[in-house]
A and B are shown apart, each in its own frame.
Chain A
């Protein structure tokens, strides 16, 4: 079991560029989510999905897009990168969106937008 994997580990973008952060899990989890982590702030939920074909917004969704075509994959798209999106991004998955909310986190993607 690889658990939750994320690529790339590091990325530098210029303002206005777009890119996709990849996330995959091999635990057959229904629930997947994206967080960003900034210094002095807690992890903040960007988008989440409770199953293939179902996504919803979290606390800070603006500037990000997601889709969930399979159980395994949950990519995060930055439509037009801005310096305010410089952050560390974590993908997480959980077997149940209702209870037993143990989330498994990936290793993170460190994104810098110039």
Chain B
């Protein structure tokens, strides 16, 4: 059965304290791994797509990496405005996206 697990469930960081969020997956035939950011009361906002092991993408303080079993979202020197829930999703065959339950990140000034 396809499965996506995100850890930790919640993470509190001091401003400037770098860390990583994990997304591990068990799927048959990965066709892409996606990271989204979701602010309270809003829809998810697309961040990155990764397609193959070894691939990396960067955007401001965020960097996403992919291995054959997991993906990491590295946050460098986070700011309070980075506080949000970060969602990971994987695409398998057909048109299905499977989402993890997310990591709720809080950055304290």
Contact = CB atoms under 8 A, between A and B. Distances in A.
B32 A42 contact: no
Interface string B43-55: 1111001000000
Interface string B27-45: 0000110101000011111
Interface of B: 4, 31-32, 34, 36, 41-46, 49, 87, 89, 91, 95-102
Given A90-B43, A105-B45, A106-B43, A42 B95 contact: no
B99 A101 contact: no
A101 B96 contact: no
B42 A103 contact: no
Given A42-B4, A102-B49, A56 B44 contact: no
Contact of B101 (A40, A56, A97, A102): A40
A11 to B, nearest CB: 15
Contact of B96 (A40, A45, A104, A108): A45
B100 to A, nearest CB: 5
B100 A105 contact: no
Contacts, number: 59
Nearest to A56: B95
A31 B95 CA distance: 9
Contacts of B96: 45, 58-59
Contacts of A108: 41-43
A42 B49 contact: no
Of A33, A35, A44, A105, chain B has the most CB atoms within 10 Å of the CB of A105
Nearest to B44: A105
Given A40-B101, A42-B4, A97 B95 contact: yes
A90 B99 CA distance: 13
